[in-house]
Structure 1
Amino acid sequence: MTGAPSETTAQTEILARVDNGIGILTLNRPKAINSLNQTMVDAMTDALKAWEHDDGVRTVLLDGAGERGLCAGGDIVAIYHSARGDGSEARKFWFDEYRLNEMIGRHPKPYVALMDGIVMGGGVGVSAHGNVRVVTDKTKMAMPEVGIGFIPDVGSTFLLPRAPGHLGLHVALTGAPISGSDAIVLGFADHFVPHHELGAFTQAVIDHDVETAVAKHAIEPPPSKLAAQQDWIDYCYAGATVLDILAGLRDHGSGESADAANIIEGRSPIALTVTLEAFRRARELNTLEEVLVQEYRVSCASLRSHDLVEGIRAQLIDKDRNPTWSPVSLTALTPADVEAYFAPAEPDLTFEGERSA
C-alpha cells in the first residue's frame, strides 16, 4: 500500500487504498447513496493529485459503497441551505467539484469508473469523464436537474450535446433515467459488465490490468431502448425553442412523445430554457474546461434564482412535489432572464494551478 491518501481518508466518507498498483477510491456514504459533499470532493482531489505522480499507482478505480448505486449526485439539501443564505458554500462546492471533474478528464492514468446502480448528477461528473467507464444491467443514470429548477452540470453539457441526434437534449429536458445500454449510446460509458461480475472484474484489474478485465468480463450490451426512439426524438426536439419542442412532442401523437411533453411541462421554465441555450453554446466550445466554466456561471446564477430553492423545497424538504415556478411559464420569460445565467461569476472558475499541482 502506497501514498498518503489511504492514511488520511480511511474510515471516512472516501476510502482510498492501493492494491497491487491499483488506486481504489470508494464513495462511502451508502445511506445517502454516496451523495457528494465538500469533504468527499476534497478527499478525491487529494488522492488523485497524489496518485498522478506516484509510480506505485498504475490505474485508478472508482466504486461506491452499498448496494444502491455509485452516487446519487451532490448533497442537494446542503445546496438548498446555502442558497437561502449567501451561497458561498454552494459556490465553493461547485468550484472544487468542477475542478475535480476536469482533473478526472485529463488524468494521465487509466481511470476506471464502475457506474453500477444509481448514477445521477454529481455521480456522472466523477465517472463519465474517465477513460474506462463501466455500466451494468443495474445502472440507472440521470441528469434530473431541471426538476429542481437547476441546469445539468458536472460537464454533462459537454457530453450530452455530442450524443447522437437529439438524444442528449431529450435526456436533459426530461431528466428521465436511462439504462447502461443507453449510457453507452449517449457516450457516457464504454463497456457493459453484468452486475454479478463486477467483483471479478475489479479483481481482474488488480491482478492483471484493465485490458484483461475488459476482455474477460465485458459483454455486448442489450439493445438501447433510447436509441430505438431516436427517430421521433430527433423530429420532436428539432424546434428552436422549448415551446416549439413541446409543440412537436404533442403533434407527434405517440405515447412516448406525450409522456415526454407531460414531464417537460412540469419542469422549471427558466431551467428548461437555460438548458437549451447551454446546449447550443456548449456545441461551440471545444474543451471540457470551457464547458465547465460556462456551467459554473450558470450554477452560480441559479443560486440567485427563485426556482432552485423552490424546486429543492418541493422535492426534498417539504416533499409536496408541487413547486411554484417563477417565471410561471415559458411565455413569461425574457431574453434577459436567460442571458443573465451566462454572465461571468465573481470570482470565475479557473483551472490555474491544476496543471502544475
Structure 2
Amino acid sequence: MAEESLNANEVVLAEETGHVSVITLNRPRQLNVISSRVVELVAKYLEKWEKDDDTKLVIFKGAGRAFSAGGDLKMFYAGRKDDFCLEVVYRMYWLCYHIHTYQKTMVALVHGIVMGGGAAMTVPLKFSVVTENTVFSMPEASVGLHSDCSFSYILPRLPGYLGEYLTLTNARLSGKDMVAVGLATHFVPSEKLNELENRLLSLNSGDENAVRNVIEEFSIDVLPEEETILNKLQTINKCFCKESLEEIIESFEAEGWNNGNEWIWPVLKVLKRASPTGLKITLRSIQEGRTQTLPECLKKEFRLTMNLLRSVVSEDVYEGIRAFSIDKDNAPKWNPPTPGEVSNEKIDLMFKPFSPELELHLPAEGKASRWDGKYEDSVYPSLRGNK
C-alpha cells in the first residue's frame, strides 16, 4: 500500500509505505500546536492503522523545529464564549487514552520543542527518540491551566518529587535528561534522525525487538547535563514533598539561602509569577495522581480542564493566555493574586465529579469496545454553548 495525504498544507500529514505508517504534525510556523483539527486527524489515522492488519509500525514526528509546543492557546481564547474548545478537550483526553494503550508499535522522533499535550503524544510510546535539540517542559500552570493530557499520571512516577517540581516551575529538561528520567527511551544525534527514519521504513516491520535493534544502531548512551536539575534532586525532594503550595514555596525559599543553592532564586521567581489558582490545582492533581490509575487521572484532568475553561472558580486561564500569547505584555493580573487567597473550597469544587453522563467516557477493557466513548457518542454535542 502507498498512500499520502493529498493536501500538503493539512495540519496533519499521513503516509503509508508497506507495513509502516508515518504521521507528521504539520504546523511548523506555529510550532505544531495542537488544534481541534490536529486532534481529529491524529485520532482518525491512529484508529485506522490499529484496525489495519497491514500496518505494523507507526512513526510519529513533527515538521520544522518542534515536535509540538502543546495545545493551541489562541484557539482556547477564541472559543471561550461558545464552548467551542470543549469539543477538542473531550477528543484530546479520549485520544490520550488510546495513545497510552495503542496496540501497534509506535516510534516518536522528537526533534526540538515538546511541551504539554505534545509530550502526551510521545512519552507514552514504546519508543521515544530525542536529540540534543529536544526541550521538554510542562508550562500549563504558569498560564493558569494544569498539567493535563495524562501528565498527572506520568509526572508522579518520575524519580522523587521531580514531577511536582517540573510542573510547578515550568523547568525544562534536555533530551539527555528526558532519557535519564524515563520520559524518552533513546538519544540519537539530530544529524542521524533522518537516516534512522529511513532504516525504520526499510525495516517494514513492527516487531519490537527488531525496531529496538535499529534504534540502538543510532542511539548513544548519555549522561545528564552537568548543570541539570537532576543533580539538584535532593533539594527538590526536600521542598516539593510538602503538602501545600505555601509550604513548598517557604521551604524552597529557605533552601535558597544555603551555599550552592543560588540556582533556586530564578526558579522561585518563575514559581511566584505563575497563577496561584493554576498552581494549587496542579499540585493537588499531581499528588492525587500518585495513587490513581491512568483512566482515573484522565477523567480527573478532563473535569479540571472543563472547569478551568468554563471559569468555574477563576478566569486566570484566559488572563494568562492574554498576557503571554495575545497581548504579550507578560503582566498577568491573577485573581486571586496570592496562594493564600485561593481557598480550599474553590479547589475542592474543581475536583468534584460530574454527573455520570458528563464524565469522560473511556472504553471498557476488551477489543470489542476498544474505540468506544467518542465525543460524538457523548452528550456534549447537544450541550455546546449551554454553560
The structure 1 residue matched to 2:131, chosen from 114, 131, 136, is 136
SS of structure 2 residue aligned to 1:227 = helix
- Of the three residues 180, 190, 197, the one matched with 2:192 is 197
Structure 2 match to 1:329? 338
Partner of 2:360: 349
Q: 2:174 aligns with which of 179, 183, 188?
A: 179
What is the aligned counterpart of 1:269 among 276, 294, 306?
A: 276
Q: Which residue of 1 aligns with 2:67?
A: 70
**Cα contact 1:300–1:345 (8 A) shared by 2:** no
Within 1, Cα distance between the matches of 2:222 and 2:6? Answer: 38
8 A contact 1:10–1:16 mirrored in 2: no
Decide which moves more: 339-348 or 153-162: 339-348
Which position in structure 2 is the counterpart of 1:284? 291
Pair 1:306-2:321 in alignment: no
Structure 2 residue matching 1:73: 3-state secondary structure? coil
Question: 3-state SS of the aligned residue for 2:263?
Answer: helix
The one-letter amino acid of 2:249's match is: L
Percent same amino acid among aligned pairs?
Answer: 30
Q: Equivalences for 1:89-238 in 2 at 5 Å?
A: 89-208=84-203, 209-224=210-225, 225-238=228-241
TM-score, normalization: structure 2?
Answer: 0.87
Q: Alignment partner for residue 41 of structure 2, among 40, 43, 51?
A: 43
Which of 30, 33, 41 is 1:32 aligned to?
30
Flag the structure with more relative contact order, 1 or 2, with Cα contacts below 8 A and sequence separation at least 6: 2
Cα deviation code 1:68-123 (max 9, x no counterpart)? 1111111110101222x03x221111110111111111111111111210001111
Deviation at 1:51, TM superposition (A): 0.6
Task: Give 1:10 shift.
Answer: 5.7
What is the rounded CA distance, in whole Å, between the counterparts of 2:106 and 2:229 in structure 1? 27
Q: Deviation per CA, 1:218-266: give whole Å up to 9, x if none.
A: 1112324122111111112122211111111111121122222211110
RMSD value, Cα: 1.7
State whether structure 2 residue 301 is matched by structure 1 residue 295.
yes
Q: Is the 8 A contact 1:59 1:111 kept in 2?
A: yes
Distance 1:226 1:19, change over 3 A: farther
Query: Could you list the per-position Cα deviations for residues 136-181 of structure 1 after superposition, in whole angstroms to 9, with x for gaps in the alignment?
Result: 1100111101111110101111110110011111100011221112
Distance of 2:354 and 2:267 partners within structure 1: 33
Distance 1:147 1:11 in 2: 32
Structure 1 residue identity aligned to 2:251: G
Structure 2 residues not aligned, in runs of 5+: 204-209, 373-387
C-alpha contact (below 8 Å) 1:9/1:16 kept by paired residues: no
Contact 1:202 1:213 in 2 (8 A): no
Unaligned stretches of 5+ residues in structure 1: none
1:185 and 1:265 map into 2 onto residues whose CA distance is 28
CA distance in 2, matches of 1:155, 1:15: 24
- Is this contact kept in 2: 1:205–1:212, CA < 8 A? no
- Distance in structure 1 (CA, Å) of the matches to 2:353 and 2:242: 28
Do the aligned partners of 2:180 and 2:224 also contact (CA within 8 Å) in 1?
Answer: no
- Secondary structure in 2 matching 1:255: coil
The number of residues matched between the two structures is 351
Describe the SS at the equivalent of 1:220: coil
Q: Which whole-Å CA distance do the structure 2 matches of 1:300 and 1:57 have between them?
A: 35
- TM-score under structure 1 length normalisation: 0.94
Q: Distance in 1 between matches of 2:43 and 2:152?
A: 22
